[in-house]
Structure 1
């Protein structure tokens, strides 16, 4: 392999055409190039619908990106380390498994640390997660792309100064859920030694496809393909352009924001996961490695905006609470109508009370926080802590936002209807420079970035059992976490509280996955 060294302190090396694939097939390594590759431009992004809330690509088209997209980016401080190979962070981007790209996160904040950063692309939406729940289209191609990227890192990262046995996988939102998934899959065993999952878990309700076969057939019919035989269906869909297939997903967006996500596959040697994640954690099917899970104190506030929620018509939503809440809170179709209404009223009583919804939007944000993120993240953390030997840690990001960052968020999303704490995945903005959410270069931001990188992330990455860190199961049945409230590490304290699902959410008995006629899958905690 040949490369060009940049003149800057960090060398940005983007390997091209690392992997190739055909539609709805598992990716395989590409042939290597010859000569010098000039890694001076960002690679293609994977084809995706450009959702208005995530507009990050300058294009007037609803479909952006390319099928030629399975690239990764390597950032390294030195190609010839002094006597030892460096720690490696492989960062997996978020975007609900529908949108995003590897170079959404950059290395600037990590520049002075002895660590190699790798960011990756993987297939998204229908092209990455279509499943007919059979051997013809089993699904999880996007996750298998991530496995292949980790295999590439294991084989080649030493050429960039990184240690193949010093790899930490990390990710935010659906990237955090992907990290959780990689920990449970046998396909990724041995490819990483630590895991950091931010604001996402495979046990969150949006992190698995509901009725994947049905959704796949809806798209097939929309592009004029038969659905009586999945082999014929797949052949027909491959004759359609990728742009047409991706564009057709707009038909589903009125009912679901993130329609295509990971699935439980039919058993096979190539299955990423062939049981529900809960059962895979309990069976120790995946990687027993030290893990760090995080979430922000006010994750849900981020989702009180379009396309998730039309806050300008909150009174209409309030009047149709029983009909509209199941879709927003992701339990529509799980119960009969009477039980669904009962659950909706239980949620209203707990989070909204007897008044108008418009007077308690903070309660709705808390409902979304717990349902979308907190409950699943805490469940996954505790389950792993109880079923693996390696330690599991957690922190909650609860830091008052500096004025410059508050002004930037208000410019993007408008002035909030109520005072909100740290938002969805906000902690990662102090670890990676992110163009969509740039952190201003002020003293508070610099101090917080240093705290996160040096005292939390690198302390975890460089250690095994972390001195003076309490594990999530250290005070069972309570959930133990580090509450990050200040820039001085001494200000941050460990707390032990009942998990949000300890009584209330568990009592609602919302299934972790709908039983389908094809799979009959279910799981119990």
Structure 2
């Protein structure tokens, strides 16, 4: 009996009743056994640190690998959300690992949560209970969101994309450590939805992640989505406006000033009055070549995927963005007025000012004149 226990422990796993233990290069952790949707036992390890807390002088800096720990880490605690609006905290760079078999050698799903790069969290892992009915290992990491994750001066001092760099570091952690949880590091699929889908696309195209990925899935969002990327210049302008709002002047000391401000001041989005401008504080940007740990230095169109890639959408998911318009109570004239206004939004959003033929084709395909109100809202949601 002793020989069996020693043999299992030597492999990095020790299962004792309801308290499974796993040993990684960072130390040993204690998890718990939960039930899948169909009643299958699986092993749960939550709130595992993959990076040092991005607080103080680490705010607006590339994430650094977590320190080793001594003793046994309690990996049964809920993962905290990264700061967003009025909830969460800065010390948030943790991930969860769920596995049905600690020695299975199963393929790995690396799931990036959505939330418009403004919110979301790995704290919700209900989908893991579905995946655990299959022979896969499921991982979901936290990453910085909002200004704390994406504020950018578009220079080497505050280049931005810190949330994406968190994702890349978490992916590296998984590649190096997942075998201890029964995962196969050579079969990692990066999956995401909405902002997570755009992140999946970007992360799978980034040179920094070469060798860590087997395949990619982007659901309801890609790196070319207009809401997922901001043209050069706008992020810097918005960042400087935000800095002035919180009392930080433009200088090389700007970074230190922003690092010294309370989390609630620099981590909220409601510092700008224009909704379109707000987004530019919280989306990926082009980084200067040579920026520390750069993820994106060229437009996504200039990069080809090196891995199998699936992308898709859900039918009528555009209703989430058009549901506020009560077309059923509008006349044809009012619907036509809205469509004309929406066409102007398309031009500015997709930067089609100098492409009238493309605008005309979009109009003919989705927004023909004389359309019934209910058909109009359907077409808007499809577009």
- The TM-score by the shorter chain falls in which range? 0.7 to 0.9
TM superposition shift of 1:139: 1.3
Partner of 1:164: 185
Partner of 2:173: 152
- The SS at the match of 1:168 is strand
Whether the 8 Å CA contact 1:48–1:246 is kept in 2: the answer is: yes
Is 2:68 the counterpart of 1:79?
no
TM superposition shift of 1:261: 0.8
Whether the 8 Å CA contact 2:347–2:359 is kept in 1: the answer is: no
Partner of 2:366: 351
Find 2:68's aligned residue among 13, 17, 32: 32
- Unmatched tracts of structure 2, length 5 or more: 1-26, 35-40
Is 2:321 the counterpart of 1:303?
yes
Find 1:277's aligned residue among 300, 309, 315: 300
Partner of 2:245: 222
**In structure 1, how many angstroms separate the alpha carbons of the residues matched to 2:116 and 2:106?**
31
Partner of 2:284: 262
- Unmatched tracts of structure 1, length 5 or more: 50-62, 282-286, 371-525
**In structure 1, how many angstroms separate the alpha carbons of the residues matched to 2:350 and 2:214?**
39
**In structure 2, how many angstroms separate the alpha carbons of the residues matched to 1:17 and 1:249?**
30
Partner of 1:289: 307
Whether the 8 Å CA contact 2:100–2:137 is kept in 1: the answer is: yes
Tell which deviates more after alignment, 146-155 or 32-41. Answer: 32-41
Where is the strand percentage greater, Structure 1 or Structure 2?
2
**In structure 1, how many angstroms separate the alpha carbons of the residues matched to 2:90 and 2:117?**
16
TM superposition shift of 1:270: 2.6
**In structure 2, how many angstroms separate the alpha carbons of the residues matched to 1:29 and 1:311?**
51
TM superposition shift of 1:318: 5.6
Is 2:142 the counterpart of 1:121?
yes
Is 2:59 the counterpart of 1:45?
no
User: Cα RMSD between the aligned structures?
Assistant: 2.8
Map Cα deviations across residues 26-85 of structure 1 (whole Å, 9 max, x no partner).
000121222222222321101112xxxxxxxxxxxxx2111011110000112233xxx1
TM-score, normalisation: structure 1:
0.59
Partner of 1:518: none
Is 2:116 the counterpart of 1:101?
no
Give aligned pairs, total. Answer: 340
Partner of 1:406: none
**In structure 2, how many angstroms separate the alpha carbons of the residues matched to 1:258 and 1:95?**
12
TM superposition shift of 1:332: 4.9
Partner of 2:263: 242
**In structure 2, how many angstroms separate the alpha carbons of the residues matched to 1:362 and 1:239?**
52
- The SS at the match of 2:192 is strand
